[in-house]
Structure 1
Amino acid sequence: MEIVETLILYTPKYTRLPFRLIKERIKDRLDQEKYGVMKKVFIGIGISLPLLVIVLSLLSNADSVFGHFLGQIPRRVIDVDSLEAIFRMMLIGLITILVFAYMYSLFGKREEVVELPVPEDDKKIVWDGVILVTILAIINIVYTAFTYIQISYLFSGAKRVLPDELTYAEYARNGFNELVTVTVINFLILLCTMHFASRAKPMLYRIIQVLLSMLTICTGFMLVSAYFRLSLYEDAYGYTHTRLLAHVFMIFLFVLFIIALLKIWRDKFSLIKYYAILTLVSYVILNYINMDVIIAKNNVQRYHATGNIDIEYLSELSYDAIPVVMELVQDKKIEEKFMEMLQERKEILYEDNSWQSFNLSEYRAKAYLP
């Protein structure tokens, strides 16, 4: 029973002892200020690692070239033999720590667990500047590399050589959803950092401002890239409500980041006020523009350019789109099929002729569907 208690309770506890001894030795050799800074840097690295895993996964799926280069890094830095040697050393180190912890639990002095009271702190939550600088610096390195690849490959017209089995059309059209997800993550990082960042040290906070500005600029490139990719996707597969709303959402996010950039350098700038105004204006504009007409015009233009069109989807648009889509009737290839799909709409249009149900869009549509 004692052996089981030693293995389950005390052995895992004493696995931390070697690290604590190393920590105390480093602490004795360094002065308190340097030790505190180094400790915060390692905390920042630890916090940024899970975030990096998520961001790198999304960016690798968003950009095949970035994913290709990311996959080449371990091969160029570490060969197979070195990787195997490192794995063996890590395994030996883990076994050594476990054996040390087990032997110490048998022969060493066991520490009693003392529960300390949790202090109550009513002060405002503040994030340490050194930790934030570490996290933002690591993230910005990744985003800068990604932005460079975007500019080099996506906006240069594929002048550089793409990886094997990857065409430029496939490369340009992929990754829209992932880029938007990363943009939303960056927006949350930006807002939280501006709100919780410590301003006790002006120079340190100035560095945070610079890093946040870099984050905002890189995110702007991501939004432009996502917008461009969606446009290419629409050229290939047509225009829909969902894709048009995605364009509007990206423009909305882009303006949000511009306002946030002003807030970074002007602390008294009211972020909530201008975000509320922007949201209200965006809502009014979105309700004012006629989305069905825009979708119909773009799909008709795409048909004239490529000869491809989704007649069934166009026939389901509102009556506002009827004057636009009726241009297709002039094309004998699709006239019969298109008019068959509109026949049901035409019957519904003439069902109720009372003046109380008058609608301007329906009135205009009757001129094209006699």
Structure 2
Amino acid sequence: MSDHIASPSVVSPHPVPAPPLFDSFWPKPDTGAPRALLAALISGLAAAVFLPLEGPGIGWTLFGAITTAALLFAVRDAGTARLLWAATGALLLTVCALRSAEWLAALCVLTSAVAAALAITGARAVRELVLMTVAVPIAACRALPWAARGMRGRLRGSRALRMALSVLVALALLLIFGALFSGADENFARIADAVMPELDFETFFRATFVFGPFTLLALGAAFTALRPPRLDPPAEQRRTLRGPEWAIPIGVLVALFALFIVVQAASLFGGPAHVRDSAGLTFSAYARSGFWQLTLVTILTLPVIAAAARWAPKRTTAERNLLRGLAGALAVLTLVIVGSALARMVAYQDAYGYTVLRLLVMTCEIWLGVVYAMIIAAGLRLRAHWLPTAVLATAMGALLALAALNPEGAVAGANVTRFEQTGKIDPEYLATLSPDALPAIDRLPTDLKHSIVADINADADELGWRSWNLTTHLTRP
């Protein structure tokens, strides 16, 4: 009986598992976990210690400076553009230490978050700008296991880890036995109360609901800054419309804009003289009947121009010139409408007084005018890769310029000047402003300004050191 020798069988290798969903387009950073975790802990501690819970103040500025420095320490090799965005975000937070208007501080904090997201992600294209709105929260969840693995490999067998554990054990023993001794002797209890910090609700809230979330978000920010996500543009060629398919709607809109400007030329730019010369027309009707509609027109025209730039063909010189002509004409006509909206608001404020809301709306209109000027510049060469970030940069610049103007002080000053010229003023509105308006209000007669100043300074003494700002300090009686 012959031995049967079996031929060796070929064993197929185990299939390699596919990478997780996010790792396919957003891999984890290779290094940097210890620095990222340290930066996150510093940022969380800065938030717990400095952030003012009752309003604006220098605490936001200190938090921004410390967090920016910590994240730059974690990343180290940030490029020039990302450094500029980080500096802009920190500069926006300094407004909280200079101005006392809560609405202005809230706008600056929210805008600084956008600047921080741009610095963290390095986003430039529109699809990357959309992704940056969710990048850091997603990265915060992915960063925890990444940081744990990095720290475990770094600290395994480390003397620093053993010393840290020894200190934690010592603190635990100190708390346990200190509490027992405090219960056994009143004199020892008084010493313990003098040494230990007061554990009230605010301390507990800061130690849990402020420190934890901000630490996690800072860890996600460091994770994202070390390896920003990138969305590659689609490989296939973009589909475009035929010339008449997009040119007819845009051309009709250009004709409509031109007709409106011609028909309404007198009311658009006539201002107070047009109101006086028109029977039955008041300043209120002149401004209110058209201002908000014209503002909405300037806003809605932006996606129309963007759609034309996206869907219009640009293969030949004639197609490119057609796009330049129609989109450029629409942008120029919209600039004219921006000017008309501003003229209406100026006439309305001259007649009925000045408010912060009206100043904000005028600032937004001026910013929209700058945006349309950039659209015209981009359309000359049909290259707009720089436009999305430029729009955000000009918005931040407009907010910083508004903060430098001291909007509530400017509004109060304009109303006081109007009072000196006409004798008309709204003291109830002035009393709702912040201490930023006090230098201008000081020009009013004593009997009129006394109650206004008292209402503005009513809550000044209740603010803590975290809510300190320069204006309140200089104007406090």
Output the TM-score relative to the length of structure 1. Answer: 0.58
C-alpha displacement of 1:355: 7.8
Task: Establish whether residue 317 from structure 1 lines up as the match of residue 440 from structure 2.
Answer: no
2:216 matched to which residue of 1?
none
**Structure 2 letter corresponding to 1:362:** T
- The superposition leaves residues 140-185 of structure 1 with CA deviations (integer Å, 9 ceiling, x where unpaired) of 11111111234334324439985x6445773355311100111111
Structure of greater relative contact order (alpha carbons < 8 Å, 6+ residues apart): 2
Aligned 8 A contact 2:356 2:411 in 1? yes
Residue aligning to 1:288: 404
Q: Distance in 2 between matches of 1:142 and 1:275?
A: 27
Q: What is the number of residues matched between the two proteins?
A: 240
Q: Tell me the equivalent position of 1:132.
A: 246
Q: Secondary structure at the match of 1:181?
A: helix
Instruction: Give the counterpart of 2:348 among 228, 233, 246.
Output: 233
Query: What are the within-5 Å matches in structure 2 for residues 24-173 of structure 1?
Result: 123-156=237-270, 157-158=273-274, 165-166=280-281, 170-172=285-287
Q: 1:145 to 1:283 in 2, by over 3 A?
A: same
CA distance in 2, matches of 1:312, 1:161: 33
Q: Distance in 1 between matches of 2:237 and 2:333?
A: 34
Q: How many angstroms apart in 1 are the aligned matches of 2:379 and 2:364? A: 22
For residues 276-326 of structure 1, what are the alpha-carbon distances to aligned partners after superposition, in whole Å with 9 as ceiling and x for unaligned?
332332233233331111111111112122221110111221112112102
Alignment check: 8 A CA contact 1:129 1:205 kept: no
User: For residues 195-344 of structure 1, what are the structure 2 equivalents within 5 Å?
Assistant: 195-269=310-384, 270-330=386-446, 335-336=447-448, 338-344=449-455
Q: Which moved more, 1:227-236 or 1:278-287?
A: 278-287
How far did residue 244 of structure 1 move? 0.8
Q: Displacement of 1:343 after TM fit?
A: 2.7
| Counterpart contact for 2:294–2:341, Cα < 8 Å | yes
Helix, strand or coil at the partner of 2:442: helix
Return closer, same or farther for 1:298/1:133 CA change in 2, 3 Å cut-off: same
Unaligned runs of 5+ in 2: 1-234
Taking the aligned partners of 1:339 and 1:289, their CA distance within structure 2 comes to: 25
Rounded to whole Å, the distance in 1 between the matches of 2:341 and 2:293 is: 9
1:241 to partner: Cα distance: 1.6
Take 1:205 and 1:264, find their aligned partners in 2: how far apart are those partners?
A: 9
- CA contact under 8 A between 1:152 and 1:160: conserved in structure 2? no
How far did 1:347 drift?
Answer: 5.0
Task: Measure, in 1, the Cα distance between the counterparts of 2:274 and 2:431.
Answer: 37
Structure 2: which amino acid aligns with 1:134?
A: I
The 1:324/1:168 distance shift into structure 2, 3 A limit, reads closer
Relative to 1, partners in 2 of residues 1:355 and 1:153: Cα closer, same or farther, differing over 3 Å?
Answer: closer
**In 2 relative to 1, CA 356–303 (structure 1 residues): closer, same or farther, beyond 3 Å?**
same
Tell me, in whole angstroms, the C-alpha distance in 1 between the residues paired with 2:418 and 2:276.
28
2:471 paired with 1:361 = yes
Per the TM alignment, residue 357 of structure 1 is displaced from its structure 2 partner at its CA by 6.8
Question: Given residue 125 of structure 1, which amino acid in structure 2 is its aligned partner?
Answer: R
Query: What is the alpha-carbon distance in structure 2 between the residues aligned to residue 302 and residue 174 of structure 1?
Result: 24
Mapped partners of 1:344, 1:207: distance in 2 = 60
Following superposition, which runs of at least 4 residues in structure 1 exceed 6 angstroms of deviation? Answer: 354-357
3-state SS of paired residue (2:444):
helix
Q: Report the AA paired with residue 435 of structure 2.
A: Y
RMSD (Å), alpha carbons: 2.9
Q: CA-to-partner distance for each residue in 1:323-356, whole Å, 9 max, x for gaps? A: 21021125xxxx25x423433444544567x988
Task: Give the distance between the partners of 1:357 and 1:130, measured in 2 at CA.
Answer: 59
- 5+ unaligned residues in a row in structure 1: which ranges? 1-120
Matches within 5 A, 1:171-186: 171-172=286-287, 174-186=289-301
Secondary structure at the counterpart of residue 443 of structure 2 = helix
Paired AA for residue 474 in structure 2: R
